[in-house]
Amino acid sequence: MALFGIATDDGVIISTYLKQLFDKEKPSTVMEIREATVRAGKRRIRPALMTVATRDRIYGSHTVLLAG
């Protein structure tokens, strides 16, 4: 269940940026849409991974605290 929440958050991060990019550039062809999508993925993958790493560290520490 936790993975579903992480995937949802990552999707929101990337799709929000993608919407901003589409509003700014207004792609009209399939190739322009593809290029914008790849750029959005490359640009927002780091924040998405940082979110996962932080959440993993927090949940991991809670597991250790509750087990002991």
Per-residue pLDDT tens over the stretch 6-58: 667 778 888 888 999 999 999 999 999 999 989 888 888 887 778 777 766 66
Q: Identify the band that residue 4 occupies on the pLDDT scale cut at 50, 70 and 90.
A: low
3-state helix, strand, coil in the chain (%, to 5): 90, 0, 10
Report pLDDT for 66.
59
Domain chopping of the chain, boundaries:
2-67
**Half-sphere exposure of 3 toward its Cβ, with a 13 Å CA cutoff?**
0
Report pLDDT for 46.
83
Q: Which residue has the higher pLDDT, 59 or 39?
A: 39
Q: Which residue has the higher pLDDT, 60 or 10?
A: 10
Q: Which two tokens stand for residue 44?
A: 């927002």
